[in-house]
Amino acid sequence: MWRIRIVCLVLILGYVGIVCRLFYWQVIASDRLRLEAASQYYIQLPLPAQRGSIYASDKSPLVINQPAYLVFASPKSIDNALLFSERISGVLGGTKESIFDSITRPGRVWVPLAHKVESEKADALKLLGLSGLGFEKEPKRFYPEASMAARVVGFVGSDDNGKDTGYFGLEGYYNQELGGKDGMLEIEKDAKGNPIAIGIAKRIESQDGRSLVLWLDRTIQYAVEQKLLDGITKYGAKEGSVVIMDPKTGGILAMASFPGYDQRIYAESDRALYKNPVVGDSYEPGSTFKVMVMSSALDKNVITPLTQVDESGPVKVGEYYIRTWDNKYHGTLTMTQVLEHSSNVGMVSVQKKLGNDAFIDTIHRFGFGEQTNVDLQDETSPSLRDDRDWKEIDLATASFGQGIAVTPLQMVRAVGALANDGWLMEPHVVKDIRDGDGRLISIRPKKIRQVVSSAAAQAITEMMVNAVDSGEAKWAKPKGYRIAGKTGTAQIPVAGHYDDKKTIASFVGFAPSDNPRFVMLVTLREPTSSPWGSETAAPLFFSIARDIFAYYGIGPQ
């Protein structure tokens, strides 16, 4: 009896094993096995999609596709592998040994030899008349304006599978839209791996990528890049950035940072230069931050432009003393004069009048501590203290822009709200997305929230105009123009303390003040000619503004 039971048990286990194996083949591994089976009968060749182009606001191309080719070999059709390798290496470069090795490996029916081969070299290969040599269109990126706006545009490289992929900037952020969808050609093959001329063929067409039309103005961008390079040299700065936005739409009209890199030879550049510092780097804004604090106090009706404050000497905050930037004191100042003289002592008084909760709320409402959601890859936002962790000295120093970190784009967006009746906008680089049929998908301007009233925005604008006309940088201002602006000079924190000799000089402003066409921020890191924003960033701002006035046809007012 026990023998029968053993036999039955063995039969049952065998049956269960067969069922499990069938389940594995038909359910779990079905997709893989189906592909393996298909690979025995078919050759699958990719049909790459053509990547979309990128255009400036006037539709002039910034990035387009240049004809190029994928050069490949079909080993089964090669008559003489050694001769083939010698002839190909003479044109493509590389060694004949490596080519010979790749085309003679057993089982290979399709071997890519080189990507992105330019037309001239492809024509030279075609003249060789070699059997087994093939070509597929594989366009490469071409930059008609050279490296203009490189850190905005980004670049195209290859991913781990050799597929074109966008990295950084617009190429990275809009990679899916620009890249399109690759197609595929599936051809039946014989037992030796050769395509069957009358065999079954399946073709899935590729879908070309969409193109981008930017807010970025090519003329302004060119002027900004030239002026910024000159300014970095003139003022001996380590690096610098400029960002210009339309305050009414949030459209980015220009964005530049130096040192930069050339997308055409990106692999030869320091990888740290790939990141766009306007959206990815943080800095302490210094006195430019004062206009947000002052506007909020105006909005809360705790001050007026004529409210007076005592500036007869340093003000004590806890165990610390807050001094003016130049150690000069003016006795009694109005709030308008606090901005004009960029008084740190006066700003501590404004913060106290505003109150701690309202001050912290001001920081949040103006968008600091949150990403702007700009359409560029790798945007970051510096972290803020928890609302419960602000100490008295932290509140005091933050009122004049020390001890708080922002990105340049956060700053220009915040000041842009003051130029836009108090409305904070979402910044955008892309204005329209265009598909292959020429249809446009417009990205509409997006209001985030109103951070101060229209009345408060108009009041702070007049105070900023006075700061430009009567402040430390008045000597550089274009005559006859009403520009609302503010200088900034912030010490750079190093190992827990501030370095008196290293500063970030900046100037932020908008113009014309009665109907702003642009808001601009200029930052210079560690200028050596002078540490002050009034003597470096401000004249650079005004120089760029002159070009914009001329370009827009805006005469003196």
Residue range 232-242, pLDDT digits in tens: 999 999 999 99
For residue 264, the 8-state DSSP code is G
Start-end of CATH 3.30.70.2110 domains in the chain? 68-138
- String of b and e for 288-309 (b: at least 16 CB within 10 Å)? bbbbbbbbbbbbbeebebebbb
Strand arrangement, sheet containing 201-204: 42-47, 183-188, 201-204
> With 70 as the cut, is the pLDDT of residue 145 above it?
yes
Cα distances from 235 to residues 228, 435, 439, 529, 534, in angstroms, run 10, 45, 47, 5, 12
What pLDDT shows up at residue 486?
Answer: 98
> With 70 as the cut, is the pLDDT of residue 13 above it?
no
Q: How far apart are CA 382 and CA 373, in angstroms?
A: 14
What pLDDT shows up at residue 9?
Answer: 63
Q: How far apart are CA 372 and CA 257, in angstroms?
A: 19
68-138 fold: Alpha-Beta Plaits (3.30.70)
141-164 mean pLDDT? 90
Q: If we measure between CA atoms, which residue out of 231, 257, 232 comes closest to residue 243?
A: 257
- String of b and e for 481-519 (b: at least 16 CB within 10 Å)? bbbbbbbbbbbeeeeeeeeeebbbbbbbbbbbbeebbbb
> With 60 as the cut, is the pLDDT of residue 345 above it?
yes
What pLDDT shows up at residue 384?
Answer: 92
> With 70 as the cut, is the pLDDT of residue 20 above it?
no
125-145 mean pLDDT? 90
With contact defined as beta carbons under 8 Å apart, do 278 and 409 qualify? yes
Q: What is the pLDDT of residues 395-405, one digit of tens each?
A: 999 999 999 99
84-97 mean pLDDT? 89
Cα dihedral 540→542→305→290 (10° resolution): -20
> With 70 as the cut, is the pLDDT of residue 506 above it?
yes
* Neighbouring residues of 171: CB distance < 8 A, sequence distance ≥ 6: 63, 153, 154, 155, 156, 178, 377
> With 90 as the cut, is the pLDDT of residue 276 above it?
yes
What pLDDT shows up at residue 126?
Answer: 92
> With 70 as the cut, is the pLDDT of residue 22 above it?
no
Beta bridge partners of 308: 334
Position 163 confidence tier, pLDDT thresholds 50, 70, 90: confident
Question: Going along 139-208, which residue ranges are E strands?
Answer: 140-142, 155-158, 164-167, 183-188, 201-204
Position 108 confidence tier, pLDDT thresholds 50, 70, 90: confident
* Beta carbons within 10 angstroms of residue 13's beta carbon: 10
With contact defined as beta carbons under 8 Å apart, do 89 and 96 qualify? yes
With contact defined as beta carbons under 8 Å apart, do 365 and 341 qualify? no
What pLDDT shows up at residue 159?
Answer: 84
Position 162 confidence tier, pLDDT thresholds 50, 70, 90: confident
* Beta carbons within 10 angstroms of residue 542's beta carbon: 22
Query: What is the share, in percent, of the chain residues with pLDDT greater than 70?
Result: 89
Cα 310 to chain centroid, rounded: 44
Q: What is the CATH number of domain 218-552?
A: 3.40.710.10
Alpha-helix runs per DSSP H in 169-262 = 169-173, 175-179, 218-235
What pLDDT shows up at residue 494?
Answer: 75
What pLDDT shows up at residue 47?
Answer: 76
Q: What are phi and psi of 317, to 5 degrees?
A: -125, 105
What pLDDT shows up at residue 30?
Answer: 60
Query: Is the model's pTM score more than 0.85?
Result: yes
> With 90 as the cut, is the pLDDT of residue 5 above it?
no
Q: How far apart are CA 242 and CA 547, in angstroms?
A: 14
Computed over every residue of the chain, the mean pLDDT equals: 90
17-43 mean pLDDT? 57
Start-end of CATH 3.40.710.10 domains in the chain? 218-552
Longest distance between any two alpha carbons in the chain, whole Å: 114
Position 326 confidence tier, pLDDT thresholds 50, 70, 90: confident
Position 49 confidence tier, pLDDT thresholds 50, 70, 90: confident
Q: What is the pLDDT of residues 177-187, one digit of tens each?
A: 999 888 877 76
Q: What is the pLDDT of residues 522-552, one digit of tens each?
A: 999 999 999 999 999 999 999 999 999 999 9
* Beta carbons within 10 angstroms of residue 201's beta carbon: 14
Q: Which two tokens stand for residue 512?
A: 């014309």
Q: If we measure between CA atoms, which residue out of 332, 451, 354 comes closest to residue 399?
A: 354
Cα dihedral 398→403→405→410 (10° resolution): 10
291-311 mean pLDDT? 97
What pLDDT shows up at residue 107?
Answer: 75
